[in-house]
Structure 1
Amino acid sequence: MNKKRGQQSIVFASPPVITSTANIVGPMEGDGILTEFYDRILKDNLDDNSSWEKCESSMMEWAIKTAIAKECSAIDDIDYVLAGDLLNQLMGTHFAVRNVGRPFLGMYGACSTLALSMIIGATLIDGGFASKLAAAVSSHHDTAERQYRFPTELGVQRPMISQWTVTGSGAMVISANGDGPRITAATAGKIVDIGLKDPNAMGPAMAPAAADTLWRHFNDTGRQPNYYDMIYTGDLGSVGKALVINLFKEKGIDLSTVYEDCGCMIFRKEQDAHAGASGCASSAVVFTGYIYQMLMRQKLRKILLVGTGSLHSTTSYQQKESIPCIAHAVAVEM
């Protein structure tokens, strides 16, 4: 069977099952909209660790081990761990996974890393190269701010177009067999760079990449937007979300009735996150919490998760490069 569809998409012959999920968030996220859908909420952004980076690692380790325990599996049953974060050289992930002790594949797609890990994981299982694996991502507001922008202690004023990096981690177990929603199709994105250079304006930079991947997914698979109960992008925030809707309006398609952005679902307006949430954990904590539970309760039956990533670095910004962006789409169905 030819599993490739069109130019960029895959339809899985034996769709892998997401058999369990787990998530953990910081106190600001825990005080937000989706409080009831988090497994654990930290009391502060250190959680008894000596640095924010160590806190981020401990969150990911906890999420991976909790997802595996929820599935009633032993850690040795996991063939691979696919995971990543936003820090240089995946530092947070490496220190988290060293305590898991399973074969590890490091993933990097900036804030699209969860979707990327789901695609690679589903491909490994559908191809017969694994029977069970864990996928996980993390981000931390204070580690990301220190790396990409300014030391948190400076208290630099943020422009209204900026977003708040989510402190949290989400993990899932993907299996060849079992109960739960299945990963049925995927579309790998292309890098789209429209020339923006402001690292505070990630939503506008990533929106064209999200729209490009969505358009390719619909064309490759023959599915229309209303095939899905909901389409979720990862962390475009309110500005990027509006741009995606407008880009599709130009094509004569109204996405607004079946589309939401995870970055608009985490913080309440009065929490002053400006344009919304961002970070690897933005899509991760929403998917492993709210979306997964809605699928399991069959309040949603078919969703498309489009992870969005801004692929700049501190070096590229200092060299005045523009921001290359990516988006990967994963179809998950009951």
Structure 2
Amino acid sequence: MNLKRVGNQTVVFAKPPVILSSYSVVGPKEGQGPLGKTFDKVWEDELNGEKSWEVAESKMLQEAMNGAINQASVPKEQIDFMLAGDLLNQIISSNFAARQMALPFIGLYGACSTMALGIAVGSMLIDGGFAQKVLVGVSSHHDTAERQYRLPTEQGAQRAMSAQWTVTGAGSVLLGSDGAGPRVTSATIGRVIDFAVKDVNNMGAAMAPAVADTILNHFNDRQLRPVDYNLIASGDLGAVGLALACELLKQSGMDMGTNFTDCGVMIYDESQDTHSGASGCGCSSVVLAGDILQRIKAGELKRVMLVGSGALHSPTSALQGESIPGIGHAVVIEG
């Protein structure tokens, strides 16, 4: 058997899948940020006419996925699988969206790493000959995440400076076996790493070791270095986690240079009072579907690595005093 796996954790695609289209939908706060003009649609408010934040999030995910389908001008019947995930219990946003999309559905949970995980799994399905077109979508919503993971917003509790602001957004990409567009050339599947961080208001610290581990394994597997990439974007460590990941990589002998940044740092600016930056499944998905893919298509970026980062905790595990395991999944996209 001709294995496509290289080294410890990386797969290299023999026929790299193509990103045929992408679509992003965000809330008003995200639309006011530095990347506002790169998003396809900006909602005027967090509910968008729906009866609850949870219903609004599921509708946002549907809107992003239908947007990607329409952008590619591909009949829905030609899509072999829909891969989706979100932050809510039992990934209800994705499940309810799948109910409306009526496509063969694979639900994924990687917390904030779900977009990178979805692209990796979708690309494996295509390169493995199991599908020709795969729709990938993820979502998060600031208010649904606050209700589930933290305090009721009505309490007006003060947020820690290390805390991140969950993005209200949904991003989607349509992958194809052929066609025109950026190509997904490889993927590095991460390991769960736990440095015993228990502070749910400092998820960047919990995720940084896993991101650093995935980056190191990717470079070792591929025999490459940071200078071989125009952009390496984690998603989403925030400012605190990004600094920690850089320090961990430096201690391992890896100087990341100036091309390493974080989607959670990119999407907001200091005037928006998000403290350490952004988090949420929607963060890396809308930054990828908007800014990053637009820059690849414009020829500004030739080779990009997106390292999705996830904090794999739950309200129950946090209340029981468990530490926060982290995960990092990487995909490489080339123009």
Matched residue, 2:4:
3
Tell me how far apart the structure 2 counterparts of residues 205 and 37 of structure 1 sit (CA, whole Å).
30
Post-superposition Cα deviations, 1:229-252, rounded to whole Å, max 9, x if no partner, equal 110000100011111111122233
Post-superposition Cα deviations, 1:274-303, rounded to whole Å, max 9, x if no partner, equal 000000011001000000000111100100
Verify: 1:303 aligned to 2:304, yes or no.
Answer: yes
Matched residue, 2:188:
187
Contact 1:237 1:261 in 2 (8 A): yes
Contact 1:52 1:140 in 2 (8 A): yes
| Residue correspondence of structure 1 range 69-84 to structure 2 within 5 A | 69-84=70-85
Matched residue, 1:315:
316
**Deviation, structure 1 residue 206:** 0.4
Tell me how far apart the structure 1 counterparts of residues 269 and 245 of structure 2 sit (CA, whole Å).
22
- Superposition misfits of 4+ residues, deviation over 3 angstroms: none
Matched residue, 1:129:
130
Tell me how far apart the structure 2 counterparts of residues 96 and 55 of structure 1 sit (CA, whole Å).
11
Tell me how far apart the structure 2 counterparts of residues 167 and 251 of structure 1 sit (CA, whole Å).
35
Matched residue, 1:94:
95
Matched residue, 1:330:
331
Q: Which TM-score applies when normalising by structure 1?
A: 0.99
Tell me how far apart the structure 1 counterparts of residues 179 and 157 of structure 2 sit (CA, whole Å).
48
Q: Structure 2: which amino acid aligns with 1:326? A: I
Contact 2:168 2:282 in 1 (8 A): yes
Q: Structure 2: which amino acid aligns with 1:89? A: Q
| Residue correspondence of structure 1 range 215-234 to structure 2 within 5 A | 215-234=216-235
Tell me how far apart the structure 2 counterparts of residues 185 and 253 of structure 1 sit (CA, whole Å).
20
Q: Which TM-score applies when normalising by structure 2?
A: 0.99
Q: Structure 2: which amino acid aligns with 1:12? A: F
**Deviation, structure 1 residue 95:** 1.0
Tell me how far apart the structure 2 counterparts of residues 293 and 283 of structure 1 sit (CA, whole Å).
14
Tell me how far apart the structure 1 counterparts of residues 144 and 33 of structure 2 sit (CA, whole Å).
20
**Deviation, structure 1 residue 208:** 0.6
**Deviation, structure 1 residue 97:** 1.5
Which is worse superposed, 324-333 or 241-250? 241-250
**Deviation, structure 1 residue 98:** 1.0
Tell me how far apart the structure 1 counterparts of residues 48 and 4 of structure 2 sit (CA, whole Å).
45
Post-superposition Cα deviations, 1:36-76, rounded to whole Å, max 9, x if no partner, equal 10000001000000000000000000000010000001111
**Deviation, structure 1 residue 188:** 0.4
Post-superposition Cα deviations, 1:81-131, rounded to whole Å, max 9, x if no partner, equal 000000000111111121111100001000000011011000000000000
Post-superposition Cα deviations, 1:111-170, rounded to whole Å, max 9, x if no partner, equal 000011011000000000000010000000000000001111111110000000000000
Q: Structure 2: which amino acid aligns with 1:140? A: H
Three-state SS of the structure 2 residue aligned to 1:111 is: helix
Three-state SS of the structure 1 residue aligned to 2:111 is: coil
Matched residue, 1:166:
167
Tell me how far apart the structure 1 counterparts of residues 92 and 133 of structure 2 sit (CA, whole Å).
25
Three-state SS of the structure 1 residue aligned to 2:100 is: coil
Contact 1:75 1:100 in 2 (8 A): no
| Residue correspondence of structure 1 range 1-334 to structure 2 within 5 A | 1-334=2-335
Contact 1:267 1:276 in 2 (8 A): yes
Q: Structure 2: which amino acid aligns with 1:114? A: M
Q: Structure 1: which amino acid aligns with 2:150? A: R
Tell me how far apart the structure 2 counterparts of residues 269 and 223 of structure 1 sit (CA, whole Å).
34
CA RMSD in angstroms comes to: 0.7
Tell me how far apart the structure 2 counterparts of residues 260 and 239 of structure 1 sit (CA, whole Å).
12
Contact 1:245 1:256 in 2 (8 A): no
**Deviation, structure 1 residue 226:** 1.1
Tell me how far apart the structure 2 counterparts of residues 117 and 278 of structure 1 sit (CA, whole Å).
17
Unaligned runs of 5+ in 2: none
**Deviation, structure 1 residue 2:** 2.5
Tell me how far apart the structure 2 counterparts of residues 245 and 88 of structure 1 sit (CA, whole Å).
32
Three-state SS of the structure 2 residue aligned to 1:260 is: strand
Three-state SS of the structure 2 residue aligned to 1:105 is: strand
Contact 2:82 2:134 in 1 (8 A): yes
**Deviation, structure 1 residue 256:** 3.3
Contact 2:226 2:257 in 1 (8 A): no
